[in-house]
A and B are shown apart, each in its own frame.
Chain A
Amino acid sequence: MSWILVLPLLVPLTTGILCLVVAHRPAQRLLGLAGALGLLVAAVALLVQIHQQGIQAVQIGNWLAPFGITFVADHLSALMVLATGVVAVAVALYALNEGDLPREGQGYYALVHLLLFGVNGAFLTGDLFNLYVWFEVLLLASFVLMILGGGQAQLAGGVKYFAVSLLSSILFLAALGLLYGATGALNLADLATRVGAVNPGLLSALAMLFLAAFGLKAAVFPFMFWLPASYPAPPVMISALFAGLLTKVGVYALIRVFTLLFIQDVGFTHNLLLWVAGLTLSLGVLMALAQGELRRLLSFQLVSHIGYMLMGLGILTPLALAGSVFYALNHMIVIAALFLLAGLLQRLQGTTVLVRMGGLYRAYPWLAVLFLLPAFSLAGLPPFSGFWAKFTLAAAGLEAGQYVIVGVALLVGLLTLLSMGLVFAEAFWKNAPQAVDASPGWGGLVLPVALLALLTLGIGLWAEPLLSLSLAAARELLEPAGYIRAVLGVSR
């Protein structure tokens, strides 16, 4: 029994409960940061263990595999948990320096750690119904975070977010019930051994239900319009966390079920995924170009780049899947950095409406560098991590002969650069329309942004370790036998 596997769950749960119990402000802040750092350490330990000993599974309470509660960690899960830890630490640092006292008083730290608890649970569970439960855990925490503090914008965004999430949950539940009816199993590994016996037409229909349920969470075409309507509403210390983590849980779930379960009719399902990827990519970036408010613009960029992760899943070669995994990790870091930076700019200029911003390059030239690092990474310029992610995907696409999607992907990269350039021209180069005094105490907010920006540069300059880890994850995904053996034991 490997307890290291459940540490990424126990740490945020303990922190969350402690934050609820301890109503002392400095102690809560300390707990918030310590919990995030603890999660990061646990995630690193987990990844080391997985890398050395292969896929690990834990049966809670020693109930044997298809009957009990199973947690499984392969390279994909461990990497996603690690990226969650990184984002959690950055957001915790940001929240410490933001000093948003009303929201802190309403339980911000406790909710964040319960959200992390749900996110890690979704990454580590080996059971489809438990995945549903973990989704609900993270959703309930995120609902409250979304409207924490109240206000018109947050409540309006919260209503939309709530409504769409409910729909996605019910779709997931219905799909789950039908899949259970068809196979008699819920454990993912057990399911993987049984789906072969299911009528292929029925299985494809079930795959579409799961695609809709997870697609709603991941905000892919045509289910993406709720995200830009709700993510910009809460303060940045909340929306950066959402942007970094929540859609990736949907992407993770898609990757999991479309490599483990729905691989019988690849010509249909994965071609459809490629279409979804292409449309998400192009529509997202085109709508981002039309936005005049930084956080909304970033939300559309977030949507657009989910397409890259689906593209690798649709191509379904080892290199392509490695590209997807690498892209997801890279994107978690980059988009969180950009959202946090948007909050920093709001502190400096009092607004994130691009027309009313300006003159930042003259006032803070180093801040322009800090913006350009993640912005170039998002667009996929070398030597940042985004370049290697896109390069891997493009190389895999060309190898597999999927020229159209590669063309779309590269064009979207160019348009992303254009969109980031527009932001730079508006917020940094243009003269300030009116002089605004920076709200005091923003200095500390630079630290988390700088950490994430340097991380994307660091990964870009030294991409080999993460790339080989992603390749290991892709190999495990394409050969589910190892996963099944780890869960069900050698005899099966």
Chain B
Amino acid sequence: MEVSLSFLVGALMAVGVYLMLRPHLIQFLVGFVVLGNAANLLIFTAGRLGSQFPPLVQPNGVVLEPYANPLPQALVLTAIVIGFALAAFGIVLFFRAQEALSTLSAEAIPETLEPAPAPSPVDEVRWEGERP
């Protein structure tokens, strides 16, 4: 089990890195998702599958035999949620970048752009939702 999962993690890592190195930003994002899953499986595999290391200990020192270590699963769950949030943000970010820069090719995004101009303190600019 662990050996086959290790190979799977390796393969997913390779695919993820390859996709992240592609110039197109959507490919990059897919690569991130794949790499994220690889990292999650890695935690799962490294965190000792099966019930050899049960963490639930009763007060008299007797371990609860049939339970597997739940910590790696909790870690993976947290990481999945965070990865999901990052991917969602990434999709919106790349959508806006496509609108503003009219490209999604990493090579076409300019190295330097004149930074944002200093804001002029004009009071006509209203806040969103603010009534005139």
Taken together as a complex, chains A and B put the C-alpha atoms of A184 and B109 apart, in Å, by 44
Rounded to whole Å, the gap between the CB of A194 and the closest CB of chain B is 14
A180 x B123 contact (CB < 8 A): no
CB-CB under 8 A from B128, the residues of chain A are 105-106
A147 x B78 contact (CB < 8 A): no
CB-CB under 8 A from A353, the residues of chain B are 114
User: Can you name the residue of chain B whose Cβ is closest to the Cβ of A346?
Assistant: B118
Rounded to whole Å, the gap between the CB of B117 and the closest CB of chain A is 8
Q: Which of the candidate stretches A38-46, A94-102, A475-483 sits at the interface with the other chain?
A: A94-102
B19 within 8 A of A: no
A162 x B90 contact (CB < 8 A): yes
Rounded to whole Å, the gap between the CB of A85 and the closest CB of chain B is 26
Contact of A440 among B40, B75, B121 (CB under 8 A): B121
User: Can you name the residue of chain A whose Cβ is closest to the Cβ of B45?
Assistant: A181
B97 x A158 contact (CB < 8 A): yes
Rounded to whole Å, the gap between the CB of B74 and the closest CB of chain A is 9
Rounded to whole Å, the gap between the CB of A348 and the closest CB of chain B is 9
CB-CB under 8 A from A163, the residues of chain B are 20, 28, 106
B129 within 8 A of A: yes
CB-CB under 8 A from A54, the residues of chain B are none
Taken together as a complex, chains A and B put the C-alpha atoms of A365 and B35 apart, in Å, by 54
Taken together as a complex, chains A and B put the C-alpha atoms of A99 and B90 apart, in Å, by 29
B96 x A173 contact (CB < 8 A): no
B68 within 8 A of A: no
B42 within 8 A of A: yes
User: Can you name the residue of chain B whose Cβ is closest to the Cβ of A228?
Assistant: B112
B43 within 8 A of A: yes
CB-CB under 8 A from A133, the residues of chain B are 78, 82
A233-B115 contact in complex given A173-B43, A177-B43, C-beta closer than 8 Å? yes
A25-B127 contact in complex given A177-B47, A180-B46, C-beta closer than 8 Å? yes
CB-CB under 8 A from B90, the residues of chain A are 162, 166
Q: Using a Cβ–Cβ cut-off of 8 Å, how many residues does chain A contribute to the interface with B?
A: 64
Taken together as a complex, chains A and B put the C-alpha atoms of A248 and B111 apart, in Å, by 25
User: Can you name the residue of chain B whose Cβ is closest to the Cβ of A177?
Assistant: B43
A174 x B42 contact (CB < 8 A): yes
Contact with B along A87-123 (1 / 0, CB 8 A): 0000000000011111111100000000000000000
Taken together as a complex, chains A and B put the C-alpha atoms of A25 and B128 apart, in Å, by 11
CB-CB under 8 A from B20, the residues of chain A are 163, 167
Q: Which of the candidate stretches A148-156, A300-308, A448-456 sits at the interface with the other chain?
A: A148-156
Rounded to whole Å, the gap between the CB of A46 and the closest CB of chain B is 27
Contact with A along B32-52 (1 / 0, CB 8 A): 100110111011111110000
Taken together as a complex, chains A and B put the C-alpha atoms of A173 and B90 apart, in Å, by 18
Contact with A along B10-39 (1 / 0, CB 8 A): 000000000010000100100010011011
User: Can you name the residue of chain B whose Cβ is closest to the Cβ of A348?
Assistant: B118
Which of A169, A293, A346 has the largest number of chain B CB atoms within 10 A?
A169
Rounded to whole Å, the gap between the CB of A346 and the closest CB of chain B is 5
B64 within 8 A of A: no
Rounded to whole Å, the gap between the CB of A350 and the closest CB of chain B is 7
Further contacts, 10 of them, CB under 8 A, given A23-B129, A101-B126, A174-B43: A23-B127, A105-B128, A140-B89, A156-B110, A160-B109, A162-B90, A181-B47, A234-B116, A235-B115, A293-B112
Pick 26 A–B contacts, CB within 8 A, sort by A: A102-B125, A105-B125, A136-B82, A140-B86, A151-B100, A152-B100, A152-B101, A155-B96, A155-B97, A156-B101, A159-B106, A160-B109, A173-B40, A174-B39, A177-B43, A177-B46, A180-B46, A180-B71, A233-B115, A234-B115, A235-B116, A235-B118, A295-B115, A296-B112, A346-B117, A440-B121
Listed in ascending order, the chain B residues whose CB lies under 8 Å from chain A are 20, 25, 28, 32, 35-36, 38-40, 42-48, 53, 71-72, 75, 78-79, 82, 85-86, 89-90, 93-94, 96-97, 100-101, 106, 109-123, 125-130
Q: Which 3 A-B pairs have the closest CB atoms?
A: A181-B46, A177-B43, A105-B127
